[in-house]
Amino acid sequence: MTKKVRTRSLQWVLVRRLILLQAAMLLVFIVLCVAALWIANPRLLIDNEAAAATVKDAVDRDKDGKLIVHETQELAEFRDSFPNVWYIVRDSGGQSVRSGVIPDVYTKGFGDLLGEADHATIGFSDKDMRPEAYIEKASTRAGTVQIIAATQSSRQETDGLEINISATVEVARNPDGSKNWERALPALAVIIAILLLPIILVMGTTTLVTTPAVVRRSLAGLVDTVRQAARIDIGTRAMQLPVKQVPQEIAPLVNAFNEALARLAQGYDRHNRFLTDAAHELRTPIAILRTRAELLKPEPQSARLLHDIERLSHLAQQLLDHQLLDRPADQRQSVDLDDLVSRVAADFAPLAIEAGYDLAFEPSRQKAYVEVNVLQIERAIANLVRNAIEHGGGSGTITIAIDTAGGIEVRDEGPGIPAEEHENVFQPFYRLQPLSRGAGLGLNLARQIALLHDGTIRILAGSWRGARIRMELPIRS
């Protein structure tokens, strides 16, 4: 047993690859950000810290060892940006340099604790108008000094709205003051995960929702083309699939498919014309043979010859009947099923009686209208009746019945058709009795006509005697 090859879904291949690509890009972005931060080791300064940093670069001593602050270009530019900036610079010897309007609270001593602190932010309650300041012990050209700086002398100087964002990361340290990364890394990983998890969840959810929708919309034209291709059959073989909505990469395949359809349609038409022309050409010599055979003396061999000529004539007629399958759908019309079938029954009544049968016609209880190609349906019913005459045993009644569901049943009282042969008899050139007059095309033609009209045809199974063949056509609403 051969294993069926499972085809891949182009849509989900694209979705998976897009999701993996976006996940890889996000991972690379995170790695690059971490690497950049690790290399740059940035320190984000708020205004007060920036003031202290600017002053630190300007601290120096004069030739007498006195503590001074140079008016550097950076300090001058900082004053232009923050006109209310003030600062105090003190050294361990008690010297100090002051600049700007300094709030009284900052002119006092801060005690041993702040004197030992490396850096700190001094703040007050929300209702207190005294401003925050930044204090830092800094190494300068003048040695180690303490710098206190702020950009405001009072909170009243705030220009509208100010937002200060400060982030301090303190890493666990060993007794000698070195950083203990073994303890710090797990906590750092948790912090990074907390910061990145919302971003990853939002991006992941958006990717999973939008990517399939985008891909599905991009392939919508291709899906419509596939649906149209599924509707192509022998009756619509000239159909061409649209290329306008198909992705550019798939368009060559659709064009090649359309060209293949055109070649197949041309080949089918050539084959059909050949059969039709051959059948037409055969009718004249067959008629001549029949005429000459009827002039022979009544002998067993002449009767056998007439029987064979009749089979040949019937085959030529059925080949001609196949050209009816190419009639366009716009030639259909709405007709009363009783009237249509009754005409066929009247035409075959003499043939049935001559072959030894009674012919009965049972109309439906109420009118049933169907939209059909009248000539095609007449030929289909004619083939069903001719089949009953040929295989009905030469006696009994052939019944043609109609019901309100659009069903047409042709019944005979002959030997019937074995259940295992119910499908085989619809195959072309298949005959239950090899020596019968039929060519094995009648039931096949009837089925093709029924399918062209979205109908069905089948052999009914039951305890009755004989064969019952039912053709059912859609009722016009």
Q: Mean pLDDT score of the chain, rounded to an integer? A: 80
The pLDDT tens digits of the residues spanning 91-143 come to 888 888 999 999 888 887 766 677 778 888 888 887 888 888 899 998 999 88
Q: What's the pLDDT score for residue 422?
A: 87
**Distance between CA atoms of residues 101 and 103, nearest Å:** 7
Query: What are phi and psi for residue 409, nearest 5 degrees?
Result: -115, 135
Q: What's the pLDDT score for residue 439?
A: 60
CB contact at 8 A, 270 and 261: no
At position 267, the amino acid (one-letter code) is G
Q: Confidence band (pLDDT; 50, 70, 90) for 7? A: low
**Distance between CA atoms of residues 237 and 268, nearest Å:** 9
CB contact at 8 A, 360 and 392: no
Query: What are phi and psi for residue 134, nearest 5 degrees?
Result: -120, 130
CB contact at 8 A, 352 and 384: no
Q: What's the pLDDT score for residue 468?
A: 92
β-bridge partners, 472: 407, 456
**Distance between CA atoms of residues 60 and 143, nearest Å:** 8
Q: Whole-model pTM?
A: 0.45
Q: What's the pLDDT score for residue 469?
A: 92
CB contact at 8 A, 476 and 337: no
The β-bridge relationship of strands 397-402 and 59-61 is unpaired
**Distance between CA atoms of residues 151 and 81, nearest Å:** 10
Q: Confidence band (pLDDT; 50, 70, 90) for 410? A: very high
Q: What's the pLDDT score for residue 26?
A: 76
Exposed, middle or buried: residue 381 (CB in 10 Å: 0-12, 13-18, 19+)?
Answer: buried
The pLDDT tens digits of the residues spanning 268-322 come to 777 777 766 666 667 677 777 777 777 777 777 777 777 777 777 766 766 666 6
Report the C-alpha dihedral over residues 291, 295, 300, 304, rounded to 10 degrees: -10
Residue 176 C-beta-side C-alpha neighbours within 13 Å: 2
Alpha helices in 322-438 (DSSP H): 337-354, 374-391
Q: Supply 272's token pair.
A: 């059909």
At position 67, the amino acid (one-letter code) is L
The pLDDT tens digits of the residues spanning 336-356 come to 999 999 999 998 898 889 888
Strands (DSSP E) found in 191-306: none
More confident residue, 408 or 220: 408
CB contact at 8 A, 89 and 154: no
**In b/e form, how buried is each residue of 251-264, taking b as 16+ CB within 10 angstroms?**
eeebeebbeebeee
